[in-house]
Amino acid sequence: MQSLALIENWPVTTAATAVVRADGTVVGAYGPTSHRFPLASVTKPLAAYAVLVAYEEGAVELDEPAGPEGSTVRHLLAHTSGLAFDQHRATSAPGTRRLYSNAGFEVLGEHVAKATDIPFADYLREAVLEPLGMVSTSFDGSPARDAVSTVDDLVRFAAEVQTPRLLDPRTVLEAMSVVHPGLSGVLPGYGHQKNNDWGLGFEIRDTKSPHWTGASSSPRTFGHFGQSGTFLWIDPDAGAACVALTDRPFGPWAVEAWPPFTDAILTELRTA
């Protein structure tokens, strides 16, 4: 795909990207796709998938208590538990505000580890990374931000989410559907959003503006970006996903570069 070469114009030292169809076909790749990059918050979809595996295995229930009083596993996955951004303290009642919370994902990891009697890093590896052949991905630390991976590995994950084998497709459909619709909140890096929609561990584009995906991205597009200059989006209407990893922290350069990059990809996919 010619559009992927646009990463050459990004003000970064190293970047790699790829696009994968729902059937697992990689339709284009550019840059060192086997290079390992810190994922920052793109760790969260991987962690969320492991939590959903634990749910399907019967180790946890989505609506069982977890986190602050009144909060559940579902609240934690959807950033509506009321926990603060990076502190294990509640700042609002569960289900009333969309408060993006790294602490919430750390509580999730602890909750699954206690329920399964397996350290969360081991559970994530056994439940998600090994079955998908993500041999270059490592995780040791916070479920919110501490995975390291490659474009090659994340393409495998993006293909899985589009055509699930590890989870029931109905579970993935729930994960990409809005939990607690209508809640406002801050989308990190993009300010306050009136409808700050999230699913179960995945951010949903819907009508957000500004946004890190493209102007032509469908409202159903979901995924995550990371403060290490990384992103993964899946556009069900386009039938494709894109991974881009860089070695420069997220900032104004990404706000400017990412949306037209995505729009160019979608245009090429639609005209192919």
Q: pLDDT for 56-77, tens place per residue?
A: 999 999 999 999 999 999 999 9
pLDDT of residue 78: 98
pTM above 0.85, yes or no: yes
State both tokens at 192: 């306050």
For 139-229, where are the alpha helices, taking DSSP H only? 151-162, 169-175
Share of the chain above pLDDT 90, in %: 96
Neighbours of 174 (CB within 10 A): 17
pLDDT of residue 272: 77
Distance from first CA to last CA of the chain, Å, rounded?
10
Neighbours of 169 (CB within 10 A): 11
- Among 59-68, 86-95, 206-215, 222-231, the least confident range: 86-95
pLDDT of residue 181: 94
Q: Write down the mean pLDDT value for the chain.
A: 96
Q: Does the pLDDT value for residue 254 go beyond 80?
A: yes
> For residue 9, what is the DSSP state?
G
Q: Does the pLDDT value for residue 8 go beyond 80?
A: yes
pLDDT of residue 41: 98
Distances (CA, A) of 214 to 205, 221, 222, 271: 10, 10, 12, 17
Write out pLDDT tens, residues 158-181. Answer: 999 999 999 999 999 999 999 999
Write out pLDDT tens, residues 115-159. Answer: 999 999 999 999 999 999 999 999 999 999 999 999 999 999 999
Average pLDDT of the residues in 45-61: 98
Average pLDDT of the residues in 11-20: 98
Query: Distance between CA 229 and CA 15 in Å, rounded?
Result: 9
CB distance 231 to 250 below 8 Å: no
pLDDT of residue 99: 94
CB burial of residue 154 (10 Å; 0-12, 13-18, 19+): buried
Residue of 22, 20, 52, 18 whose CA lies nearest to 37: 18
pLDDT of residue 87: 87
Residue 187: helix, strand or coil by DSSP?
strand
Question: Which residues are registered as beta bridge partners of 223?
Answer: 203, 233
pLDDT band at residue 48 under the 50/70/90 scheme:
very high
Query: Distance between CA 162 and CA 236 in Å, rounded?
Result: 8
Query: Distance between CA 132 and CA 97 in Å, rounded?
Result: 34
CB distance 4 to 12 below 8 Å: no
Query: Distance between CA 87 and CA 219 in Å, rounded?
Result: 31
Q: What phi and psi, each to the nearest 5 degrees, are found at residue 69?
A: -55, 130
